[in-house]
Amino acid sequence: MFIIGALLLGSAAVASDTKQQWQLVWCENFDSAQINDSVWSKIPRGNADWNRHMAPYDSLYDISDGILTLHGVNNHNLEADTAKYLTGGVWTKGKKSFAPGRFEIKARFGNAQGAWPAIWLLPFDTVKYAWPNGGEIDVMEHLNYDSIAYQTVHSNYTLYQGGADNPPHFTTHPIKLNDWNVYGVDITPDALVFHINGTETFRYPKVDSIPGQYPYHLPMYLLIDMQIQGSWVGKADPATLPVKMEIDWVKHYTKQ
């Protein structure tokens, strides 16, 4: 075990859809002093923009009063770790697979120049569906001090086959800045339906006439992470750090 300080109703359409079609099958409330390491792991460091500052240090992870907190900080000990910034992130890779269905995550995060918190989904079978073959579903990304969140899909089709705009592959939507919001997506055979605080924000449809355009209806794993600096979010400002990302709960539904 590693120690880390383990329904909101929105629009009538989404709330009604939840009641009539979706059944809650799994929930993480972070109500234990220890995170469930049969489900979650700390995300290891990599070479991509999003994971180049990930670190396993306990100071970056906290669970308290049912809230998971992931921190992003300046690194004041470059002799022990050469990364300029340090961030915390968790994923269910290799541990828990989620069937296609509805995902909702209640989250709150601070603001800082270069801060880039994200909640996203990738195919559980990482051998058969090496990125981006099985697609990527970005349930929420936030940049710097924006009053909006990004919701995006990626795939071979959107990235390398000229399909970014046919159909459009992302949207932005206002959020309650510095407050709790519920971010969600429904993975169905025919479309990805994104929502924030119960309001549908974006629908990415399957287009039968385009082979490989919709690879998303398959088991996924979940990533939740605080990220700092990158080509998209821009340079970080050390004076605005530390910054944190808080998660109240994660819910997964499937069709009744």
Q: Is it true that the peptide bond before 219 is cis, omega within 30 degrees of 0? A: no
Instruction: Answer with the residue of higher pLDDT: 12 or 74.
Output: 74
Phi, psi of 147 (to 5 degrees): -95, 15
Tokens of 191: 């479309």
Report the 10 Å Cβ neighbour count for 87. 28
> What does pTM read for this prediction?
0.93
- Model confidence at 16: pLDDT above 50: no
Would you state the torsion angle of the CA atoms of residues 52, 56, 61, 63, taken in this order, to the nearest 10 degrees?
140
- Model confidence at 37: pLDDT above 50: yes
Q: Amino acid identity of 128? A: K
Q: How far apart are CA 173 and CA 154, in angstroms?
A: 18
Region 9-23 average pLDDT: 57
Residue with tokens 């290799």: 94
- Model confidence at 8: pLDDT above 60: no
User: pLDDT value at position 35?
Assistant: 87
User: pLDDT value at position 17?
Assistant: 53
Tokens of 90: 């968790």
Residue-wise pLDDT tens digits, 134-190? 999 999 999 999 999 999 999 999 999 999 999 999 999 999 999 999 999 999 999
CB-based contact 152:140 (threshold 8 Å): no
User: pLDDT value at position 165?
Assistant: 96
Residue-wise pLDDT tens digits, 73-128? 999 999 999 999 999 999 999 999 999 999 999 999 999 999 999 999 999 999 99
CB-based contact 181:196 (threshold 8 Å): yes
From its phi and psi, is residue 83 left (phi > 0), alpha (psi between -120 and 50) or beta?
Answer: beta
- Model confidence at 256: pLDDT above 90: no
Q: How far apart are CA 205 and CA 167, in angstroms?
A: 8
The CATH number of the structural domain formed by 12-255 is 2.60.120.200
Q: How far apart are CA 12 and CA 103, in angstroms?
A: 18
